[in-house]
Structures are given as structure tokens and as C-alpha cells.
A and B are shown apart, each in its own frame.
Chain A
Amino acid sequence: QKEVEQNSGPLSVPEGAIASLNCTYSDRGSQSFFWYRQYSGKSPELIMFIYSNGDKEDGRFTAQLNKASQYVSLLIRDSQPSDSATYLCAVKRDNQGGKLIFGQGTELSVKP
């Protein structure tokens, strides 16, 4: 079992719709959770991080964490074609310093 699992996609949504990206992790000791966005041919960049169960909102993005279910999700409201990218979920055990373990990523395509 991979430490961090995501559906590879591609996930295709129409412009203006809500895109829902999901991630599960196997290590119950994981304490911090991150979503990175990676455009084709570019390097990953941080979108959001979350530490506590529940929702965290930042503009059109909402991260959701359920530690009991070992599940993290990212919702993108009012999706735009510029949101088309691969979204990487990453987890960290705080006692391991800054070591982030990434999932394979989910490719999102937003159609105009």
C-alpha cells in the first residue's frame, strides 16, 4: 500500500463547476497535510495546508481533513481553465522535520 494515494485522473469538469480532489494516507502518525499544484513542465507550488480536522477555506479553495478516516480532500469552486493542472497531496509527520511524502497526483482538466 502506498503511503499517500490519489486517483490519477484525469478529472474533467466544466468551467464554473466544483472540482473535488481526494487523497488517502496510510500513516496514522501523519500530522500535517498539504496540497500542491503542478502545471505541466513546471515545479510544484503550495496551494494550502491543513492540520486540524474539518474544513479550511482560502478563496475558491477548501481543504477538508478527516483524520479518523485518514482522508484529505481539496474542493475548487468556480473552476477556471487556469486551474487545469496536476494536484499533489502530501503528508508530514512533524517529528520527521520537513519530510513530505507525496501522492502520485490527480490531473484536473477544466473545460471552457
Chain B
Amino acid sequence: DAGVIQSPRHEVTEMGQEVTLRCKPISGHNSLFWYRQTMMRGLELLIYFNNNVPIDDSGMPEDRFSAKMPNASFSTLKIQPSEPRDSAVYFCASSRTTQNTGELFFGEGSRLTVL
């Protein structure tokens, strides 16, 4: 089975531009997570969905960030307008929501650089 697929793998953009990151979770997984990783702050949860419904977006930094999951096989994370402090690696992860396991399967990440 294919793992979590993210695109683009690398994005370099200028401040003020819109950035859209994409994620395809593992087929059959019903939970999807967006994390951001920086040296200073580590791996931070931005938002997660269960069955395509946003459950917790308390980690979304501000209104410039938005995420959608229109169906079970696709999600986007959008930053508009982007700022240099948004530079980070953005990971998408998916899992099956069960009571007794919590394994997240991560994509390879999207490295964003905002100049």
C-alpha cells in the first residue's frame, strides 16, 4: 500500500504569496493530522480531522492558516498570505482511530521556505 503522500516536497515562495500544501492519506485511515516542525518549536499539531470533519484546530497559528478535507482521500493546508516565520517542514499524517493504538503514519513532509 502507498503511504501518506504529500506535495509539494519543497516550496520556496516570497512573503505575501499564497501557499497550498496537499495530502493524500493512507486508504482506509479515517483520521488526518497536519503538523509543523521547526528547530525552535519541534513538532506542533496544527489541526486534525476525523472522518473528514475538523475536530481540533487550536494549533492553527492564526487566520492566515486554513485547512480543508473535502473527502476521505484529500486534504489541503493553505497559508495566505505567507510570512518568513511560516518557514518549516509541514507533515501530514493519518491513522485509524481506535481506542488502543495511536500510531500515526507520516508523509515525507513539505519543506516550506518563505523569503
Contact = CB atoms under 8 A, between A and B. Distances in A.
A22 interface: no
B15 to A, nearest CB: 25
A44 interface: yes
A1 interface: no
Interface residues of A, number: 23
Interface stretch (B16-24, B43-51, B60-68, B78-86): B43-51
A94 interface: yes
A98 interface: yes
A34 B42 contact: no
Interface in A54-109: 88, 90, 92, 94, 96-105
A105 B91 CA distance: 16
A17 interface: no
B56 interface: yes
Among A42, A43, A100, A101, residue most surrounded by chain B Cβ atoms (within 10 Å): A43
A46 B102 CA distance: 10
Contacts of B99: 94
B103 interface: yes
Contacts of A44: 43, 91, 104, 106
B107 A43 contact: yes
B103 A99 contact: no
Contacts of A45: 106
B100 interface: yes
Given A43-B108, A99-B56, 6 more contacts: A49-B102, A90-B102, A92-B102, A94-B99, A100-B45, A102-B43
